Amino acid sequence: MNYAHITGWGSYLPEQILTNEDIARTIDTTDAWIRQRTGIGQRRIAASRDTTTGLALQAALRALAVAGLPAADVELIIVATSTPDYMFPSTACQVQGHLNATRAGAFDLSAACSGFVYALHMATQAVATGSVSNALVIGAEMMSRVLDWQDRETCVLFGDGAGAVVLQGSSRPGGVLTSKLRSDGLQSDILCLSAANSNPIPALSSENGHARPVQNTISMNGRRVFRFATRVLVESVQDILAMANLTLDDISLIVPHQANFRILESAAKQLGVSPELFYTNLEDTGNTSAASIPVALCKAVEDGRIHSGDHLILVGFGGGLTWAYALVEWQKDVASIYIPATYHAAAFARA
Catalytic residues: 113, 257, 287
Q: Which of 97, 100, 222, 235 binds ligand UT7 (CB under 6 A)?
A: 222
Name the residue among 296, 215, 207 with its Cα closest to residue 256.
296
Identity of the residue, 226 or 343, whose beta carbon is nearer to ligand UT7 in the bound complex: 226
R_g of the chain computed on alpha carbons: 19
Number of C-beta neighbours around residue 27 at 10 A: 12
User: Site mask, ligand UT7, residues 230-269, x = CB under 6 A?
Assistant: -----------------------------xx---------
Residue 33: in which H helix or E strand, if any?
helix 31-38
Identity of the residue, 29 or 168, whose beta carbon is nearer to ligand UT7 in the bound complex: 29
The distance of closest approach from Cβ of residue 186 to ligand UT7 in the complex, given in angstroms and rounded to an integer, is: 17
| Half-sphere exposure of residue 205: CA atoms within 13 angstroms, side-chain side | 4
The distance of closest approach from Cβ of residue 113 to ligand UT7 in the complex, given in angstroms and rounded to an integer, is: 4
CA distances from 60 to 65, 159, 240 (A): 8, 19, 28
The distance of closest approach from Cβ of residue 226 to ligand UT7 in the complex, given in angstroms and rounded to an integer, is: 4
The distance of closest approach from Cβ of residue 172 to ligand UT7 in the complex, given in angstroms and rounded to an integer, is: 35
Number of C-beta neighbours around residue 281 at 10 A: 20
Identity of the residue, 148 or 153, whose beta carbon is nearer to ligand UT7 in the bound complex: 153
Total residues binding ligand UT7 (CB under 6 A): 19
- Find all residues with CB under 8 Å of 4, minimum gap 6, and list them: 123, 124, 127, 128, 135, 167, 168, 169, 175, 176
94 binds ligand UT7 (CB under 6 A): no
Residue 153: in which H helix or E strand, if any?
helix 152-155
Identity of the residue, 45 or 99, whose beta carbon is nearer to ligand UT7 in the bound complex: 45
The contact set with ligand UT7 (CB under 6 A) reads 29, 33-34, 37-38, 113, 152-153, 156, 220, 222-223, 225-226, 229, 259-260, 287, 318
